[in-house]
Amino acid sequence: MTIAVITIDGPSASGKGTVAALVAAKLGFAYLDSGALYRLTALYAQRCGTSWSDEAGVAALARTLPAEFRDGGVYLAGEAVDDAIRAEEIGMGASAIAALPLVREALLERQRAYRVAPGLVTDGRDMGSVVFPDASLKVFLTADAQVRADRRYKQLISKEDSANLPRILQDITERDARDAARSVAPLRQEPDARLLDTSEMTVDLAVAAVLGWFEQSV
């Protein structure tokens, strides 16, 4: 029997990870934050002294990435790195290496291995288009760039991190353009994906929308 998969793709800071994790919890499904794999790879490359532009070098690291997702945390070579991979610099690095075909190829099967019974909810930028094209439900979750920048700013402030709203907005806008323009697995809404704009929507309403669509799909 085919194992159900819900893919939630969308731009940076759209809230897709929060929605995906909550949907997975509601359904009792496994959850994969695909962006975390790219962030982990970027962090690992940085720590190994490998340039993010070194496609072959980064791909080699991706194939042997000592990553673990356990107890609600993210680990790299046994070290908890939840905060480290969320740094703005690492986010930019993740976007840079995600444009490299050899890196995407190295991480592809690793992502597909998370498809286990009773089901999987995953978020990213090409989950529905490339990694799980046969997904039971595909969602493209987005929000206005200014709204996303505001959310990211509040998130950083709540953690007592320094934050500059205009800079965050610029980073988000630049990353949107880069992710949409890359030649390999560009960020886009697939024809069979449901559009979910959360600009004026609470997290609970977004989760309810995805759950409702999934019930209709099965």
User: Which residues participate in the annotated binding site?
Assistant: 10-18
Alpha carbons within 13 A on the beta-carbon side of 99: 17
- Residues in contact with 101: Cβ distance below 8 Å, sequence separation at least 6, in sequence order: 55, 184
Buried b (16+ CB within 10 A) or exposed e, 89-118: ebbbbbbbbbbbebbbebbeebbeebbeee
How many beta carbons lie within 10 A of that of residue 164, not counting itself? Answer: 12
Nearest-Å Rg of the Cα atoms of the chain is 16
Confirm if 39 and 62 have CB atoms less than 8 A apart: no
Buried b (16+ CB within 10 A) or exposed e, 136-150: bbbbbbbbebebbbb
Q: What is the residue type of 181?
A: A
List binding-site positions for ATP. 10-18
